[in-house]
Structure formats: structure tokens, C-alpha cells
Structure 1
Amino acid sequence: MILVKTTAAPVLQQIGEQVLDLVSDNVTDLSMRHPPVSHPLFSAYRLSLLTEVRAYLARPAPSQIELVTATDDGQLVGFALCGLSPGSRPECGIYYTAVSKSRRCEGILSLMVHEIISRYAVVSLSCDVRLASVYKGYGFEPISLRKQQIVMAIGQPREETPILDPDELARQPPIIREQMEASARSTEQAVKAANKAMEKTRKAEKTKAKNFLAQYLKAKRM
């Protein structure tokens, strides 16, 4: 039986480590840049993402960070990392969600999302175009763009939630060191080719997102 639970940061180390393991298994999906495993600098992208999520999980109270977990017999099978705006009626921003690859299509994401929207009147997130229909099924509506993603919401988001700057995190010495070591294991030509391919994909996804939002808003006005 799947147990869904919400915990405020800072979370227990045991839970945090399970979350980080799941993050590590889903770097390509979770990272905004979607680096493929074949990218020469993949290890640096993974470390950067793990550093970001770890920082959220360790944020001291009152953290304005919540972790929604889905467990089966004590084993983590999914999570949603959320940020809350200050105040007595906080808005919720969903930062990251992931479900174990072996447990997908079992309704685990649905359980976690319904847990969140049952507690907050205003909930927002950003996702790739391919996932927009999934979140529309939960009641989210497309409202704007964020890079190559669609921003979706239930209610009208008006307040800020605590967000770490991924670019600032990427400048931390351990991540820079990993970038240098990963580059040394490859060639400059291979890195450039991988970056070019990733940028081409990003631009294509951005175009898809723009077209999707334009078509949605046009249909809504009709």
C-alpha cells in the first residue's frame, strides 16, 4: 500500500538520502537543461542538481519547504519537492517531482499531486509540453512560459516562494571541480558537440512551448 506523507524541511537524513538517490536516477528528466547520460559533463549536471535538492531538504526551519513522499513498505517510490510563500494562507510551488522508473503508471504521481492540491488553494509548477496534458488532468491551467517549459497553475499565483539560484550553485567549488575533471576525461570537440545538440533540443522545446501556449490561450478566448 502506498503511503503519502508531507514533511517540512529540514528532513531526516535517511529520507533525504532516498530522495537524492531518486534524483540521481532521474537527472535528465529533472534538470531544466535535460542533459543526456551520454553528455561528457553529465556527472557535473548531476552533482549540480543533487546539490540544489540537498540544499532545499536541509533548509532550516521555518524553511517554507515541504517534501511530499510516497513510500511502499518503507521504500521511497516517489517524491514532490515544494516551496511555500510566507503568510497564513501560503501558495505552493512544486519544484520537482519524480517516481521510481519501475513504479510508474501506478498512480503514484496522482496521489502526491492530490495531496498537495488538497492542502493549498493556489499551486503552480512548470513542466515540459509533453507533461502539460497530465497536469491539466489534475486541474492545472497553462498561464505562461518559463524558458522551454509551460507554467501551469491552480488558482492565481501572486506571491514568491523561496527559490535557489541554480547558476549560483553551479559556481560552487565542488561542482566547478567536477566540470573540470569531466572535461579532462573527454575532448573539447566532444563537449562542444554535446552542448550544441542539447541547445538544439532546448530551442525546439521552447518553440513547442510557445506554440502550445498560444494555441491554448487562443482556444480559451473563443
Structure 2
Amino acid sequence: MIITRYDTHPIPYGVGDQVIQLVTDNVTELSLNSVPPSNLMYEVFRWALSTEVGVYLSRISEEPGKPVELLVAFDEVETEVVTGFVLYLPVATHPEACGVN
């Protein structure tokens, strides 16, 4: 597994798309409400969560006072394929802490 950190430069378009696709595909596991596909509001939650993550991704390296960072895991064989990610916000007053989104 290859891990890449994005914090000072915008993420490549293809990487961002794959992260958002992972969110869309795993909305039940990632949502605070654990909305199952059988729920009538599932598509709304799916759209909302992927949109929220997209907004955070667009903020990487854009606002120095409001940092957003991303760790992306890539496949070892197909190095352009995203296999996982962690989106987090460092806490300015506590350099050893962060909020995981």
C-alpha cells in the first residue's frame, strides 16, 4: 500500500473523483446515521455526504487559516487506484491533535 499526503497542493482530479466514489459507494458505513439502502432518504444522504466530502477536498491548500488534509492509500500494483483515505482537519491550537471527518 502506498500512502500519499495532500495538504499543501490541490489533489489531482482523478484522485478526488476516486475518493468521492468511495464515499458514494460506502455511504451507509461512513454516514453518522448509518442509512441503509432500503431507506427512502438513502439517495439524499448519498448525495449530501459525497457533496460534503467534495467541498472539503476542494479546500485542500486553498485556505491557509482553515487547513484540510487528506491521506490517500493507493494499490501497490495499480498505483493510480485509490483503495482508502482519511480526511482530517488539524487542530491549530493542538499540533498533536486532529478531527477526523
Relative contact order, CA 8 A, sep 6+: which one is greater? 2
Matched to 1:14, the amino acid is G
Partner of 2:5: 6
Q: Provide the residue aligned with 1:77 in structure 2.
A: 83
Structure 1 contact 68–80 (Cα < 8 Å) conserved: yes
Specify the alignment match of 1:24 in structure 2: 24
Structure with higher strand content: 2
Amino acid at match of 1:37: P
TM-superposed CA distance for 1:92, in Å, is 1.3
**Is the CA contact 1:84–1:93 (under 8 Å) kept in the aligned structure 2?**
yes
State the distance in 2 between where 1:88 and 1:28 align.
Answer: 31
State the number of aligned residues. Answer: 94
- Write the letter of the residue equivalent to 1:4: I
Q: Work out the CA distance in 2 between the residues paired with 1:74 and 1:13.
A: 12
Q: Give the secondary structure class of the aligned counterpart of 2:95.
A: coil
Counterpart Cα distance in 2 of 1:88 and 1:26: 31
Q: Counterparts in 2 of 1:31-42, with a 5 A limit?
A: 31-42=31-42
List alignment gaps of at least 5 residues for structure 1. 96-222
Note the C-alpha offset of 1:90: 5.3
User: How many angstroms apart in 2 are the aligned matches of 1:74 and 1:46?
Assistant: 25
TM-score normalised over the length of structure 1: 0.40
1:86 to 2:88 alignment: no
Cα deviation 1:142-184 (Å, max 9, x = unaligned): xxxxxxxxxxxxxxxxxxxxxxxxxxxxxxxxxxxxxxxxxxx
Q: CA RMSD in A?
A: 1.7
What are the superposed Cα offsets for residues 80-137 of structure 1, whole Å, 9 maximum, x if unpaired? 1111122583521222xxxxxxxxxxxxxxxxxxxxxxxxxxxxxxxxxxxxxxxxxx
Structure-2-length-normalised TM-score:
0.83
Q: Which runs of 5+ in 2 are unaligned?
A: none
**TM superposition shift of 1:61:** 3.2
Amino acid in the other structure paired with 1:76: V
**Shift in CA distance, 61/90, structure 1 to aligned 2, threshold 3 Å:** farther
In structure 2, the residue corresponding to 1:83 is in which secondary structure? strand
Contact 1:7 1:66 in 2 (8 A): yes
User: Offset at 1:15?
Assistant: 1.2
The structure whose residues are more often helix, as a share, is: 1
1:67 matched to which residue of 2? Answer: 70
In 1, Cα distance between the equivalents of 2:38 and 2:94?
Answer: 46
Q: Which has the larger radius of gyration?
A: 1
- Give, in angstroms, the shift of residue 51 of structure 1: 1.1
